[in-house]
Each structure stands twice: as C-alpha cells, then as structure tokens.
Amino acid sequence: MVERSHTAGLLPNIYGPLRKLGEKVADWFAPKADAAVAPDFYEISLELPGVSPDEIEVSVQDETLTVQGEKHFEREEQGKSYFFSEREYGAFQRSFRLPPDASADRVDAAFRNGVLTITIPKLRAAQQDIRKVVVRAE
C-alpha cells in the first residue's frame, strides 16, 4: 500500500503543537492526491491545475516518491480590485512511501488536463530478492 509521508522529523514535545500546526498548513497547500492499487501496479494521481509539466519534478529516493514544483502567480491586476482570491500559488511538495514490492526503477509519470498520474509497476515475486532454501534430508 502506498502511504503518505511527512518530511518532518521527531521534535521534542514542547514543539508538538507548533509541529502539528505546521503539518496542517503544509497539508493545506499540498496538492490533493489519490492513491490506488491494481494487480500489476500502484497509481498516484495529483491535482495540479495551472501548473505546466516542465514545472513538476518527480523523484524516488529510499523508497519515497516525491513530487515537487511551483505554481506561478499569473493574473492581470490592471484596473481591478479583488474582493477575495482563493486560488493558491507557490511551491508545493508531496511525498509518498512506496511499498516493498514497488519497482522504483520503472516509475512513469504523465500529465493531462491538470492531473499528474504516476504509475509504479509491482515487482514480480522473482524480482523481490526472495531466495528459496533447499531443505536437505540427513
């Protein structure tokens, strides 16, 4: 199963409330994602409207898949006064811990209509460093 992963380390208890607030703020600005599993692969989809594919970086390190990038602020201000603005801009990052049977070497990413879809094939049983031990009769 693919799991969410936070990059924050363990801090002393005195910082606990601040850490929790920081995590909530980070979650607020992080792109929304779905994670699914199929018989042969895992799939993660992230909503990234207004971001171009060349502004997205996908990497895998130590069984953690990370998506990061930036949505640039682009709007005409000339002659307008906004009552409110709900759209989010700026840098973003999401990390996901991959399961042991994920083939991190064969990750594929495709971007279409503002949605980034990442496919991670599963390793076959023979590829998972499984070694059978022969039992000898004595």
Instruction: Please report whether residue 133 resides in a domain.
Output: no
Instruction: Please report whether residue 93 resides in a domain.
Output: yes
Residue 115 has pLDDT above 70, yes or no: yes
Q: Which pair of structure tokens corresponds to residue 41? A: 């692969």
Note down the domain range covering 47: 3-127
Instruction: Please report whether residue 137 resides in a domain.
Output: no
Instruction: Please report whether residue 102 resides in a domain.
Output: yes
Instruction: Please report whether residue 135 resides in a domain.
Output: no
Q: Which pair of structure tokens corresponds to residue 17? A: 């409330």
The CATH number for 75's domain is: 2.60.40.790
Residue 7 has pLDDT above 80, yes or no: no
Whole-structure pTM value: 0.68
Find the DSSP H helices in the chain.
Answer: 16-29
Question: Averaged over 8-12, what is the pLDDT?
Answer: 49
pLDDT in tens, 55-64: 999 999 999 9
Domain count, the chain: 1
CB 31, CB 46: distance < 8 Å: yes
